């Protein structure tokens, strides 16, 4: 089968499509025939060597949408032909989801949403799990104020929707052209990129990784949530500083799928590339102004 890998670190020109053996599921696993797979910023980080693994061939891809094509021993509740979405967790792995087939733990998948097509669904797992875990970590009561930085990005836009659904008063920080879109998702306040909110807020969800600058937007005793492990600023003024770390959680993913099917969680696709054009997709990922998830299709 064809799979996207890197054998060395650097820019998009390091991305290669190679022929590898089709993987087989072990006990507790399923094999998914990939119909679409999301390209995430973490894939760019893996390609650049941010997570290590020098000297190894590393497979790219975390998000997947497709159908089960083989079921491993001991797996119950899943059968061949079922449409699923899943998260292939891991930064340094021999094969990722940017391939024609991928093997996942059965606990890492959920039934695919019925309300959107497979291409759109492929952008759900990593971003939605990240956004949902981050909103949960705020631990703010309904009516509390939260500022979401990078709100027009994939994770940020999902966080806006989930925070508004939780009853929080959401202010979105993004480019001026994104205001109408973010208000349509549930933001009641808006701050242009490069500016500060008029008042401090109860919590900040920092998807733009502004760090200390974003921490300064939080009132004394509030909360700062970072989306990248080990990247948060030091706590000060009694502000609770926490970081989310995503996990391959099929049960949680299933709840997010339900929100998509209810029309309560909107997804956005920026552009679709064939698997053979993975290097071009990485070039697009690195370009400014991407709005929505970039998707690869075998």
Kindly report, residue by residue over 69-84, the tens digit of the pLDDT: 999 999 999 999 999 9
Residues of the chain with pLDDT > 90, as a percent, come to 97
In terms of pLDDT, which residue wins out, 230 or 52? Answer: 52
10 Å CB burial of residue 154 (0-12, 13-18, 19+) is buried
Same structural domain, 9 and 100 = yes
Same structural domain, 26 and 110 = yes
Name the band, by pLDDT with cuts 50, 70 and 90, for residue 39: very high
Same structural domain, 158 and 49 = no
Same structural domain, 99 and 7 = yes
Residue 230's pLDDT is 86
Same structural domain, 112 and 83 = yes
Give the whole-angstrom CA distance, residue 80 versus residue 237. 54
Same structural domain, 154 and 51 = no
In a domain, 291, yes or no: yes
Residue 54's pLDDT is 92
How many domains is the chain partitioned into structurally?
2
Q: Would you state the structure tokens that stand for residue 49, as one six-digit string?
A: 């060597």
Same structural domain, 6 and 117 = yes
Same structural domain, 145 and 86 = no
| Contacts with 142 (C-beta within 8 Å, 6 or more apart), sequence order | 166, 167, 168
CA distances from 71 to 32, 88, 246, 251 (A): 9, 16, 25, 18
Residue 113's pLDDT is 98
In a domain, 91, yes or no: yes
In a domain, 104, yes or no: yes
Residue 41's pLDDT is 95
Residue 288's pLDDT is 85
Q: Is 221 a residue whose pLDDT tops 90?
A: yes
What is the CATH classification number for the domain harbouring 223?
A: 3.40.50.720
Q: How far apart are the first and last CA of the chain?
A: 10
Q: Is 289 a residue whose pLDDT tops 90?
A: no
pLDDT in tens, 170-206: 999 999 999 999 999 999 999 999 999 999 999 999 9
Same structural domain, 55 and 30 = yes
In a domain, 73, yes or no: yes
In a domain, 172, yes or no: yes
pTM of the predicted structure, to 2 decimals: 0.96
Same structural domain, 117 and 139 = no
Same structural domain, 148 and 203 = yes
pLDDT in tens, 48-103: 999 999 999 999 999 999 999 999 999 999 999 999 999 999 999 999 999 999 99
Q: Is 28 a residue whose pLDDT tops 90?
A: yes
In a domain, 259, yes or no: no
Give the whole-angstrom CA distance, residue 6 versus residue 255. 34
Residue 247's pLDDT is 94
Q: Would you state the structure tokens that stand for residue 230, as one six-digit string?
A: 């080990």
Q: Is 229 a residue whose pLDDT tops 90?
A: no
In a domain, 161, yes or no: yes
Same structural domain, 150 and 117 = no
What is the CATH classification number for the domain harbouring 113?
A: 3.90.180.10
Domain that holds residue 31: 2-124+267-297
In a domain, 248, yes or no: no
């Amino acid at each position: 089968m064809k799979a996207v890998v890197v054998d060395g670190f650097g820019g998009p020109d390091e991305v290669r499509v190679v022929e590898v053996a089709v993987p087989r599921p072990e006990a507790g696993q399923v094999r998914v025939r990939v119909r679409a797979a999301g390209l995430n910023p973490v894939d760019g980080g893996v390609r650049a060597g941010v997570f290590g693994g020098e000297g190894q061939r590393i497979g790219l891809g975390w998000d997947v949408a497709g159908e089960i094509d083989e079921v491993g021993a001991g797996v119950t509740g899943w059968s061949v032909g079922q449409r699923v979405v899943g998260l292939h967790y891991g930064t340094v792995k021999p094969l990722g989801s940017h391939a024609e087939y991928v093997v996942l733990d059965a606990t890492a998948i959920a039934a695919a949403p019925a309300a959107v097509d497979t291409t759109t669904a492929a952008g759900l797992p990593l971003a939605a799990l990240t956004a949902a875990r981050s909103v949960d970590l705020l631990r703010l009561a309904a009516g509390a104020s939260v500022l979401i930085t990078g709100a027009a990005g994939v994770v940020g836009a999902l966080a806006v929707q989930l925070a508004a659904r939780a009853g929080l008063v959401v202010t979105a920080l993004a480019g001026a052209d994104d205001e109408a879109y973010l208000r349509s998702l549930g933001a009641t306040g808006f701050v242009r990129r490069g500016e500060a909110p008029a008042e401090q807020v109860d919590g900040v969800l920092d998807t733009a990784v502004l760090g200390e600058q974003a921490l300064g937007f939080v009132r004394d005793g509030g909360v700062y949530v970072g989306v990248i492990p080990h990247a948060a600023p030091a706590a000060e003024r009694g502000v609770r500083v926490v970081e989310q770390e995503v996990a391959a959680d099929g049960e949680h993913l299933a709840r997010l799928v339900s929100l998509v099917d209810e029309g309560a969680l909107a997804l956005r696709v920026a552009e679709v590339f064939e698997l053979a054009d993975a290097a071009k997709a990485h070039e697009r990922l690195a370009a400014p102004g991407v709005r929505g998830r970039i998707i690869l299709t075998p």
